[in-house]
């Protein structure tokens, strides 16, 4: 019994040490991104703060659950200053570049003022946020020339982060004609309000005034995709109407209800492809998307 107890104790201690070392690696990497020298004679104003999944709520209480949904790993918060400006830098590390883009895309709108940095970035007065590789960077500033300093700091961080600066691979495969700029999303939970479609990639087509929303739900296999489109069909039958539409392709359906509008959908391998409020050429878009995913 004593031997078992000591072996169990050693295992627990070893696990704790490994976890601490992993966190140290995260913190060291994040710290390097903001190491001296920084542009415009910017320096740290105090020590950095670090947050882990079990402590993130202490910093962003109401929003922590969403970040955890996208596999948040670690956060560095650092106050900064130079002669004329006061700045803050928050660098969120997610598990994968896809998770980082998903979190970023959940907080931005196609109507924002965008900046050419990283995969994508947006800005307003005293604010500049961008996503790159598995990092979501949020910068704020106040004081004389703070926006200029934010630009310089963002460029420095982007160079130091390196890594992936492109949209998730699946989104890059899709037809690009008539895509609403900056409408791409990766959604981990309840896309279009339907949990059974998670996770999903979303992009809008058309104009800002009249849009069709394309959603690609990713199942584990073709059988899972068939189960998802069957659930979608059942939902529209219960709330409106839905019928088989073999002309759209594999397991094709078309339906509508009073609160979501019209839908067309089909499967392609492990994917469910659907368009909400499709344009007249929606069927052709479905086929083009299916071809890009085959």
Q: What is the pLDDT of residues 125-168, one digit of tens each?
A: 999 999 999 999 999 999 999 999 999 999 999 999 999 999 99
In 3D space, the residue among 70, 49, 47 whose CA is nearest the CA of residue 58 turns out to be 49
Structural domains for the chain: 33-161 (3.40.1000), 169-293 (3.40.1000.20)
pLDDT tens digits for range 242-262: 999 999 999 999 999 999 999
Which tokens in the block code for residue 67? 């970040």
Specify the pLDDT at position 223: 98
Residue numbers in the chain where pLDDT is lower than 70: 1-23, 208-209
Specify the pLDDT at position 18: 45
List b or e across 56-83, with b for residues whose CB sees 16 or more CB atoms inside 10 angstroms: beeebeeebebbeebbbbbbbbbebbbe
Specify the pLDDT at position 24: 81
**For residues 173, 178, 179 and 182, what is the CA-based torsion angle, rounded to 10 degrees?**
140
């Amino acid at each position: 019994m004593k031997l078992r107890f000591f072996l169990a104790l050693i295992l627990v201690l070893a696990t704790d040490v490994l976890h601490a070392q992993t966190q140290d690696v995260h913190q060291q990497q994040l710290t390097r991104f903001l190491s001296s020298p920084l542009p415009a004679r910017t320096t740290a104003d105090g020590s950095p703060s670090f947050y882990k999944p079990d402590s993130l709520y202490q910093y962003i209480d109401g929003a922590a659950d969403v970040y955890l949904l996208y596999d948040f790993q670690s956060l560095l918060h650092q106050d900064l200053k130079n002669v004329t400006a006061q700045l803050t830098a928050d660098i969120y590390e997610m598990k994968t570049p896809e998770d980082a883009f998903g979190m970023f895309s959940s907080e931005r709108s196609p109507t924002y003022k965008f900046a050419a940095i990283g995969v994508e970035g947006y800005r307003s007065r005293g604010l500049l946020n961008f996503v790159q590789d598995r990092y979501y960077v949020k910068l704020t500033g106040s004081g004389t020339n703070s926006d200029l300093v934010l630009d310089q700091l963002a460029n420095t961080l982007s160079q130091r982060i390196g890594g992936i600066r492109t949209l998730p691979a699946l989104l890059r495969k899709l037809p690009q004609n008539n895509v609403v700029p900056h409408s791409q999303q990766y959604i981990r939970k309840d896309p279009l309000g339907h949990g059974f479609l998670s996770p999903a990639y979303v992009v809008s087509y058309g104009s800002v005034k009249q849009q069709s929303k394309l959603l690609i739900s990713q199942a584990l296999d073709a059988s899972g995709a068939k189960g998802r489109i069957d659930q979608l069909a059942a939902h529209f039958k219960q709330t409106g109407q839905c019928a088989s539409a073999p002309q759209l392709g594999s397991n094709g359906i078309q339906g509508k209800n009073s609160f979501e509008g019209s839908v067309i959908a089909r499967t392609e391998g492990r994917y469910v492809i659907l368009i909400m409020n499709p344009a007249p050429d929606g069927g052709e878009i479905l086929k083009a998307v299916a071809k890009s995913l085959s």
